[in-house]
Amino acid sequence: MKIGFVGAGRIGEALIRGVLAADLTQNDQIFAGDVDADRLNALSKELGINTSTDNNDVVNNAEVIILAVKPQIISAVLQTIKPRITREHIIISVAAGVPIRAIEENLPDGAHLIRVMPNIACTVRQAISAICAGSYATGSDEETARIILGSVGRVVTVPESMMDAVTGLSGSGPAFVSVIIEAMADGGVHEGLPRDIALELAAQTVLGAAAMILETRSHPGALKDMVTSPAGTTIRGIRALEEHGLRAAMMDAVIAATRRSRELGESNI
């Protein structure tokens, strides 16, 4: 599989590294395009991939094209490569907030498009990515997208109508969880723990709790109850969280981010 990356920024680089780590293709079968020649040279030297400052070179040499550019410039980028795209290509867009309709309007008729919403955890291959199919995408196209995105984490399939909620929850979620981890560490420091140890304890605790939920498929409430003994330390802490409205605050954060995603998506139509 020859894979081309139009855009080699943080997300593009993470996907390149994931594809190589998963042995989905060979180094010389990856083609990356970007305006930053220094960045391309560094990636070529380290990873042994093909690079070019001309995105048309990427399209000409690849079968799967991953659009990893900022939403603000995706229309302009698509106009430059549109003449080179055929129905033989699979186009995978990871441009946040840009709906299928807006992308298809800048592609040849019948282009096979998959829209993806990954999150920043793809940089450590612990992402959750949601995919939805364009008007002409096939089941095989979706499977190709699942395999590629699966190299950097988990993948779910949703209708496009749910993509804003995905963005609000898992796209913005790493920032929300980072605030929680920082606050937990601050609590530990307040009680005398060194900052580095408090941060490691907090981060690993969140990671471990998440792994338990994903691997056991248990309800979070059930896992909470496992460590909440009568009149113990945990129930005292949970009461403090409830008193300060943590649940409502987290729900409101996801809802606010979802609404903002919807606003940005409408501006890209």
The per-residue pLDDT for range 22-69, each reduced to its tens digit, is: 999 999 999 999 999 999 999 999 999 999 999 999 999 999 999 999
Q: String of b and e for 223-259 (b: at least 16 CB within 10 Å)?
A: eeeeeeeeeeeeeeeeeeeeeeeeeeeeeebbeebbe
Tokens 């799967």 belong to: 64
User: What type of residue is 97?
Assistant: G
CATH number of 171-265: 1.10.3730.10
Domain boundaries, the chain: 3-159, 171-265
Q: Are 98 and 265 in contact (CB under 8 A)?
A: yes
| Backbone dihedral angles phi then psi of residue 258, each to the nearest 5 degrees | -65, -45
pLDDT at 173: 97
Q: Are 244 and 180 in contact (CB under 8 A)?
A: no
Q: Which two tokens stand for residue 66?
A: 């991953």
Question: Which parts of the chain sit beneath pLDDT 70?
Answer: 268-269
Q: How far is CA 244 from the centre of its chain?
A: 30
pLDDT at 269: 58
Predicted TM-score (pTM) above 0.85:
yes
Name 153's bridge partners.
127
What's 269's DSSP letter? -
Instruction: State the Cα–Cα distance between residues 30 and 32, nearest whole angstrom.
Output: 7
pLDDT at 266: 81
Q: Which two tokens stand for residue 253?
A: 């954060």
The correct answer on CATH 3.40.50.1460 for the domain covering 3-159 is: no
